[in-house]
Structure 1
Amino acid sequence: GGAFKETDRGQWAHVVCALWIPEVRFANTVFLEPIDSIETIPAARWRLSCYVCKQKGVGACIQCHRNNCYAAFHVTCAQQAGLHMRMDTVRDSVTGAETQPVIVQKTAYCDAHTPSISGLTPNANYVEDTISEKTREESRNKMKQARKMLAKKRSSVPVILIPTIPPERVQEIATLVSITKKAQFIQRLIAYWTLKRQYRNGVPLLRRLQSQGQTHTGFGARNGIEGSPDTSELYHQLKYWQSLRQDLERARLLCELVRKREKLKVALLKTHEEVVMMRLNPVEMAMIKLLDVLFQKDSNEIFNEPVNINEVPDYMDIVKHPMDLSTMRTKLYSKMYYSLDDMEA
């Protein structure tokens, strides 16, 4: 199912599930932890039955993005079945161009409405006309394989990875002892060590190694290893650095909010300046707006700059009073145009 992150209630949840379930949020969007707002998931979403694993009440489901399709599936089951799941970043067109926030648009489809070409949004004509019977058969076979794999995972015993010892390390350990039948003893010792690690779910046999591993992962205090002075000191240091990181993260977020606020301030001041200038000199503002429109119309920049006399020597013989958009803008800002008639002349 992928990586886990801790929730605000001390439980564990899939990161991918938190990303795809609409009601779930991350308290810290930078580190994607902890996962919160699980209590806001509607009860109806918990009651949905996953059409992939055929199970109900074992997790919140999402539904097909296609209109009038109510197929529900777990996020992890959808990944196992290879369903079409896509995230796109789009900008909110409601606000201004300078302050458009980025919105993540998530679309997921069931196997019946999955587009055969990635990136195409299916509609009624597309589904009916372009998805062949062969594609449907492949989709059904893939769904059967996913259900078989999920059922096998539910019934199988979890696999525990037992660390192996390199042969050279075994030889190095063997040189430290001098007993009869050393090879047989080392072989039985390795077998005992392997079985013991498997029985302990991969936890090291020596408490010192166990404490070190748990301290590095940040869960030493929860596993009851804070009795050692060194471990307790490391635990307090860890808490200090975690607190410092949270403070820095809060400071970073505040700086980001201040930056956005100042950006909005600048945009507001520019708008206010335009309003004042429009009231004081509406004719000049109208001419500036007209020039901006002319600049946009001249997409090839033909009339943007003056004609080069070196390239066209006889240009002045044909055009007695040459003019270009940049010269017009310079004259306008120099207060040489008092009306639209002056600008037209």
Structure 2
Amino acid sequence: METALNIASGLSDASKPREERDLLEIYPDIDETRLLNVFVVAHSSQSMQSYQDRLLQTNPLMGTLKEPQFRQVESSTKERPTEYHVSRIIGDYGFVDLHSKRSLYNYKPHYHRPFQTNQTETISEVIRHKKKQAEYDMDEQDSLYLEHRNRQPENTLDLSPEVFEIAMTILENLWMDLESQMKSLAGDEETMAIDLDLDGGSNINKYGHDDGIVFGTVDDQKCAVCNDSDGDNTNAIVFCDGCNIAVHQECYGVAFIPEGSWLCRKCMINQHKQFDCCFCPSKTGAFKQLDNSLWSHVVCGLWINELYFANPIYLEPIEGIDSIPKSRWKLTCYICKQKMGACVQCSNRSCFQAYHVTCAKRAQLYMSMTKGFLAAVKDKSTLKSFCDKHTPTDYILTQNEIIDGINKARVYFRDLTLLNLEKDKLDRNKQLNNKLNMFKWKTESNTPIAPRRFSQVLSAKLFEMKLDSIDDNGNLGILRGLGNKPTRTKESYLAELEQMSNDICRYWCLKRESKNGAPLIRKNNNLINTSSILYGSNTLQEVQEKLDFGKTLVADLEKVIHLSDLSLHRQYIQQQLMLADQHLMQTSFFPVSQLIRIILQELTKRYDSKKVLTNWKSRISDVSLKNISNLNDQLQIHSVAQLQKHLNELNQLVVSENKLTNNVVKVCARFYNGFAAKYQDYIEVEADLKQLPAPVHLTAEKVTLVDDLDYSDLSEVDPLDEGAEDKLVAFLGNGKQRRW
């Protein structure tokens, strides 16, 4: 029974990735308690020969293969002992002696560099101690370089991994200090080159956006793929810590939200480099790689019919670029006016208007996933996009707003062209200045050039540490007694140490160049936060006191939030009371206007639920359903007969400006016929309302109060003379009666 349930649950959760499913769901018949069978084969020459004979019998082609030949190379590097001890000098840079009996902490036997503080140290000493910590982490490329360098016979000083990481950290800190000094002395051209950017900030109102990043709070940010800001626990919006792009988990293929920072695929490869999309001119948005290592937007891979995601869970890589027909590559986008990439076309069968996906997002064209994102990944027929001329009537934006978005996109690409010309000019000036200047700090590809001073500082630091290699006893060797060997003098050791510093500087420059000038150490880590510097290691009592204080603050904040909610609720109730008073006043003083408003609302709800007639505007006149409603709000429609006159004029305009088969003509006809069917009822209700007593009657002869008012509650005023009363009557009505 349990096995059947497991199989059923596995079938029901087939949409989940393999990493999230339980092992029993994939292999329901597995026995976790069963021991594995172990087979021992004696590697004798006879058994090996019989094995090869059996292999040739089963596969005769194995005998035609060439026998591999190789030459075994013995490594000349000294192997690190299993248990080695770190000297005190190395320990000052953050390395921990895992095998020392005097170690204060019981660390696991793996590579570890914790940041420890002492209670007696001052804040300045702790910060200086932190700046001395080795922060660079070696990779496989660095290990191969060290192995190659230490294998050379002319290098008698072995470079250990600890010393190499310390040296790379020193070079990174030196370059960071030098860069900060250069930025303070930078001219206006370099500052202008940094500020030349059209995306983000206040430029969004001028150029629009295609990546969902808007100027506002975190809650205002929209997904760069589906352009929606809603999310839940199973499909939350995550923000890239490199480019601040916001995407849903499902829209970008984020199966798990990692603890700490999260980087999108583009920032994970290289955060400081701009990638070009193969299908559109936009350089912002959510990127994924193709199967040929090129880049594409996720929205481009979603909306172009020939493209698909090889893995529908992680949404990468994007494949199908070879299936795109040549005719699609030749299309010209009518928004940006560029003939590049691959465009999509309007979903209207009689329209062939072409546009890039990101250009359509920037212009806010109609782009709908009728059944959601996951359904669009499996079936692209659920995607619908229309140009500005064939936008459905139920779209939230009007045609004028869409045209305004298209103009914003065109202004963006126009200014982007001018910006690129300005950047090219600045780059040419920079290259010219580099050629004329003999002191170069960076190459044209933004690769740093280590000055001579770096090598000198590094050589002095290495000599100060006096590190050489690991001796036979497992201790990190030190360069004591440099002149003891008759064949080597102290000067020769210092010369080799200087040469080693120069080699490390060259390798550091190449390493930076491979990263396109990006820093090798991330300085925004949490190893030097304020709490660790100011408080260091806390006792249990201190930690408990801080927790109690934090709980008190949380309780106070909850009370403040509750008071804010009550105040907000009070304001809401006051607003409802004001609206009720306003409605009562309008009904009391302007009953006919209120009747017309109710008539329009009922007709719109019954015959124009999709707002087809409400959003319609005439090309030759200002008459529209919105205009009629505005006139009634301004008290310029005094009777139902005047309303009939306006609706009749609207019906004639709709019929004259549109074809009879158009949807707006049909809606307008039903709207007007529904009004005409109840016209007599409206007239009777209007007559009944006019017979009701009003609080104030204004006549052409004089201003009087109705008899049902209590004159005793009025204040005593001096009566008007005959001339003043005539002026007041002329001002109020000019001989006509007004009813307020």
TM normalised by structure 1 equals: 0.39
Larger RCO (alpha carbons 8 Å, 6+ apart)? 2
Q: TM-score by structure 2 length?
A: 0.19
Highest Rg: 1 or 2?
2
